[in-house]
Amino acid sequence: MQNVVVVGSQWGDEGKGKIVDWLSSEADVVVRFQGGHNAGHTLVIDKKVFKLRLLPSGIVREGKISILGNGVVIDPWALISEIEDIKKQGIEVTPKNFMISESASLILPFHQEMDEIREDAAGEEKIGTTRRGIGPCYEDKVGRRSIRVMDLRLESNLDNRLENVLLHHNAIRKGLNKKIFEKDKLKKELLKIAPEILKFAQPVWLKLDKFKNERKKILFEGAQGILLDVDHGTYPYVTSSNTVPAMAATGSGSGPNNINYILGITKAYTTRVGSGPFPTELKDEIGESLGKRGKEFGTVTARKRRCGWFDGVLVRQTIKISGINGIALTKLDVLDELDEIKMCVGYELNGKKIDYLPAATEDQFNIKPVYKTFPGWKTKTQGIRNLKDLPDKARRYIHALEDFIGARISSISTSPERDDTILVEDPFNN
């Protein structure tokens, strides 16, 4: 028995939803440990599509316990809306199968407004956030002024906490000539929804310790990708939390010794949403073709994703940073029609060859990819479920990718359908 962390090894959108759902059939508990409702997962189960934003992927499976850890920032109104939506699809969400850390911070309306104000003011320098208040909420958390789930229990406490956080935000709003945010109206709205949130609130760290002692299998579910990590990503074009697997321990209250296997979800090409450097981006017909065949639009924002060749240098780097044990390779079938396929195996910067992504933003924008070219297989791989049934050229591409990044392929996804997966090794029982 092992506990598994699932993370994206690129800029997110690698197909984590399908893989997490596939793994959750074996898990007893599924835990989200960072991010908010800015990162969506799309699940396709028996032709039925579920679009999740905050709820862990395990929620669609009967008999599983789903958890939002203390590292997640929660928009309470968005969460209630998502629960109502998924209930309409026949999914039960009760305190028996869903819980929220009482220590999780809440995204409030002024966070979203501040996100929008900053992005609009940044012009061409904008980060490309989803404008959902994630960053400003994390700022308040680090600044020790955020409203947490537990603060909803007592009106007098909530009043004091709101006074403190609005003292900060209203000072900024005044400086930007924006309307002052009214505390009393917000407090009334929060107290109204408090019972709906508090019925799920638990000391999650204590529950996870109990599940560990009961030898339950725990699946830790990351959002976004490692290249969006606030420390290790393409800063400042990153998210506001740590997306690396180590955050699974911090963001849930479970010790790092509870993590036994780290699975990196890796797309067979590369995509990115929003602004920031992208060394292998294709602004041509091939890039357009990858976007169309891969249906590269965001689950949450519907924004079109930028597409490019597989960047082996970046994935190798995220593997080293994160301690990834195995790779789940997704969307191989999107490459089926290409005459040739390229993989980035190095960079050039100011005439010199380098084998890693430099930390300086200006260097990240100026590096040029060095490619290795592979012949396309020009035949359908969609729906293949056995490794030996893949075309020889597809297998050669996969083996070359595996050798270069320095991590073994544990599974290969050949369509959005859950069962269209080639299993090489089982992370839970490896």
CA dist., res. 305 & res. 273, Å (int):
5
- CA-nearest of 362, 251, 338, 244 to 286 is 338
Question: Is 37 considered catalytic here?
Answer: no
Question: Is 229 considered catalytic here?
Answer: no
Which amino acid, one-letter code, is at 130? T
CA dist., res. 319 & res. 326, Å (int):
9
CA 381 from chain centre, in angstroms, equals 26
Segment (H or E) for 244: none
- Please state the length of the chain: 430
The CA R_g of the chain, rounded to the nearest whole Å, is 22
> Per the residue annotation, which of 21, 37, 41, 75 is the catalytic one?
41
- Please classify residue 81 by burial: count the beta carbons closer than 10 Å to its beta carbon, then call 0-12 exposed, 13-18 middle and 19+ buried: middle
CA dist., res. 329 & res. 320, Å (int):
17
> Per the residue annotation, which of 13, 21, 115, 229 is the catalytic one?
13
CA dist., res. 194 & res. 210, Å (int):
27
Which amino acid, one-letter code, is at 192? K
Query: Dihedrals φ, ψ of 94, to 5°?
Result: -135, 170
Catalytically active residues are 13, 41
